[in-house]
């Protein structure tokens, strides 16, 4: 068995090194306090640490459930692979992401109106309360699954408050010559938290699945109290009216589009996917029409939720578009890596299916390390050279890494895989922090909450879109080769032809979900009646560690390459969008707010930079 050298076999090392890294950077930078901080001495560092803690907690919880799902379903006595139960599997995964995508713009706008710190602290309190409620599940079966989904939605509301306002609070607190560094640390913590959550889920869930939610409660209580004591409003709120028409049409439209994407990857009738389902088509068309109606409404209301004129700022538009496309490229990556490791590579290397969730998280730690190294470093360099070279180069590097991942065999040598994950983390970290700093620097102070929320909405909704794209392409790839592979493999082990044919023609999404959950589906798919009639040696082979991974490897490779091809295209287009942002641009509130030179970008970039 190969253990990851970087972690010493201890998954909590990632959290320890994350904390040391952040505290060390803050300690070093305290010496620069006299270099033009906003507000009283020390405030900006308190804001950085509190908002980074909030982002880390929110993103850890966004992914902690992914690895823990097998233990959760066992704990509540619900079989996710039974017909009709895929609803619980999908919405336990996506409910948190969907609600944050829908609400961040509205909550960022509320932060502009009523105070970003007030909204942020409220988010910490809500997140903590609903994290506690998630541990109090006394039901079993589908009732317990529904309870977890509903409470998870409200936990996502708290996370949306944190995500929508953290960047705006930092932009208010830091001068423009240090924002890249601050936002870089915040962004690195947010992205790496997604992968740290995988390890924590793998460690805590086998002990007790409730611990994956309980771990957030003491951290949330500490953050809530710390935020109320330390944070203060730097900018004054604009008490405008709430844009109810815009909020409602936007939320309904986005939810319907995401529901369509979610159910589009499930089978419909004799189709391997549900894109031909009337329900999916109605949701998709209705959602698009509502989003179009929302765009019209925003041009006619006095105080719109979505500040469409901000798109006249080239640096903002280029950054948001690049953020959207980058999320399309990487959003489904984590799911593909989990399936690759849990369903194929780890069982082939002797890991029991029960332990694969934990080790999948551990073996993905090089990706987190790359984010932690590149995020703050590239963010700091952005303060001097602008976002364009780093963000654009990061996306080109990510596209190249996807190409290299396609060249790997399915049963790869780990050291090569680990190096590619590190490279992926470095390139995505080099993009994320500069891009976010470039977006926030381009915004007028009174619109930072709304602008940050708009950027987060594009990014989060793109992740849901990416999951739909990756899974759809993966299912197409599996459908072309998996039936024959399953049929011949089962017949060779003595399974009757009728039973083998039935299993081979089940929807590929069932096999994909089984691999995602780190389970061997053969016992479930064949049933005890078929297994009982097989010779003991053949039954042991069929239900063993290597039989299912060996059969799925070839078809999985086809689907994986199709998914990675789409990611390569998205990353290259994101690089082009990033390049269009122009040279370094920092919005100055002393400049005319609507002049063409402000909206063009580069002409004012030098003026704003000289004045910083």
State the 10-residue block means of pLDDT for the chain, 612 residues long. 36 41 42 42 85 89 83 88 76 83 80 86 94 90 92 92 87 82 79 80 88 92 92 70 80 85 80 86 93 87 77 89 90 82 87 80 87 83 85 94 94 95 92 86 79 80 82 82 87 89 80 71 79 86 85 86 91 93 68 39 36 30
**Distance of alpha carbon 341 from alpha carbon 237, whole angstroms:** 48
**Distance of alpha carbon 450 from alpha carbon 452, whole angstroms:** 5
Ranges of H-type helices in 493-595 = 497-504, 508-516, 522-532, 536-542, 547-579
Report the pLDDT value the prediction gives residue 9, as an integer from 0 to 100.
40
pTM metric for this prediction:
0.77
Report the pLDDT value the prediction gives residue 593, as an integer from 0 to 100.
42
Q: Enumerate long-range contacts of 350-357, CB under 8 Å, 24 or more apart.
A: 350/1, 350/545, 351/1, 351/545, 352/545, 353/518, 353/519, 353/520, 353/545, 354/70, 354/206, 356/518, 357/67, 357/68, 357/69, 357/70, 357/71, 357/201, 357/202, 357/205, 357/518
In this structure, what DSSP letter does residue 271 have? B
Report the pLDDT value the prediction gives residue 576, as an integer from 0 to 100.
94
Q: Cβ(133)–Cβ(149) under 8 Å?
A: no
Q: Is 268 helix (H, G, I), strand (E, B) or coil?
A: strand
Nearest to 288 by CA among 331, 258, 321: 258
In this structure, what DSSP letter does residue 345 have? I
Q: Cα 222 from chain centroid?
A: 25
Give the chain's length: 612
In this structure, what DSSP letter does residue 311 have? G
Nearest to 600 by CA among 308, 295, 318: 318
């Amino acid at each position: 068995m190969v253990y990851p050298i970087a972690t010493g076999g201890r998954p909590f090392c990632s959290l320890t090194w994350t904390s040391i890294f952040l505290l060390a950077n803050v300690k070093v930078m305290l010496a620069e306090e006299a270099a033009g901080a906003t507000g009283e001495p020390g405030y900006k560092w308190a804001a950085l640490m509190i908002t980074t803690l909030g982002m880390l907690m929110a993103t850890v919880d966004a992914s902690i459930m992914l690895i823990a799902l097998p233990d959760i379903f066992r704990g509540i006595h619900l079989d996710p692979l039974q017909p009709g139960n895929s609803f619980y599997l999908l919405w336990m995964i996506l409910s948190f992401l969907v609600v944050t995508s829908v609400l961040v713009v509205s909550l960022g706008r509320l932060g502009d109106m009523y105070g970003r710190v007030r909204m942020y602290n409220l988010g910490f309190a809500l997140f903590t309360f609903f994290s506690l409620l998630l541990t109090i599940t006394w039901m079993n079966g589908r009732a317990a699954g529904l309870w977890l989904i509903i409470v998870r939605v409200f936990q996502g509301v708290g996370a949306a408050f944190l995500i929508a306002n953290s960047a705006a609070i930092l932009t208010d607190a830091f001068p423009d010559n240090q924002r890249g560094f601050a936002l870089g640390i915040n962004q690195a913590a947010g992205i790496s938290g997604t992968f740290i959550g995988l390890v924590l889920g793998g460690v805590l869930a086998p002990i007790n699945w409730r611990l994956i939610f309980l771990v957030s409660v003491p951290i949330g209580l500490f953050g809530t109290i710390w935020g109320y004591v330390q944070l203060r409003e730097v900018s004054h709120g604009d008490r405008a009216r709430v844009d109810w028409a815009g909020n409602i049409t936007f939320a309904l439209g986005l939810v319907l589009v995401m529901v369509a994407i979610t159910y589009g990857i499930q089978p419909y009738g004799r189709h391997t996917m549900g894109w031909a389902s009337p329900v999916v088509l109605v949701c998709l068309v209705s959602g698009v029409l509502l989003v179009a109606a929302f765009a019209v409404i925003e041009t006619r209301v006095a105080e719109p939720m979505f500040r469409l004129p901000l798109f006249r700022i080239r640096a903002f538009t280029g950054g948001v578009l690049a953020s959207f496309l980058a999320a399309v490229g990487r959003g489904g990556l984590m799911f593909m890596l989990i399936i690759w490791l849990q369903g194929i590579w780890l069982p082939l290397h002797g890991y029991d299916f029960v332990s694969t969730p934990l080790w999948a998280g551990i073996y993905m730690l090089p990706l987190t390390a790359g984010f932690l190294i590149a995020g703050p470093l590239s963010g700091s360099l952005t303060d001097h050279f602008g976002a364009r070279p780093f963000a654009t180069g990061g996306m080109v590097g990510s596209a190249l890494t996807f190409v290299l991942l396609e060249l790997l065999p399915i049963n790869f040598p780990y050291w090569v895989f680990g190096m590619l994950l590190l490279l992926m983390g470095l390139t995505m970290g080099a993009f994320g922090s500069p891009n976010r700093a470039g977006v926030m620097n381009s915004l007028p102070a009174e619109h930072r909450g709304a602008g940050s929320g708009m950027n987060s909405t594009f990014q989060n909704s793109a992740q849901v879109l990416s999951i739909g794209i990756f899974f759809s392409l993966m299912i197409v790839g599996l459908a072309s080769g998996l039936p024959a592979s399953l049929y011949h493999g089962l017949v060779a082990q003595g399974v009757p032809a009728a039973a083998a044919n039935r299993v081979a023609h089940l929807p590929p999404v069932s096999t994909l979900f089984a691999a995602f959950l780190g389970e061997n589906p053969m016992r479930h798919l064949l049933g005890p009646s078929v297994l009982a009639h097989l010779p003991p040696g053949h039954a042991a082979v069929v239900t063993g560690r290597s039989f299912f991974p060996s059969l799925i490897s070839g078809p999985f490779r086809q689907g994986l390459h199709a998914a990675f091809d789409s990611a390569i295209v998205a990353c290259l287009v994101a690089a082009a969008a990033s390049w269009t942002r122009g040279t370094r641009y920092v919005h100055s509130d002393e400049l005319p707010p609507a002049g063409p030179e402000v909206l063009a970008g580069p002409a004012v970039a030098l003026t704003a930079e000289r004045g910083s």
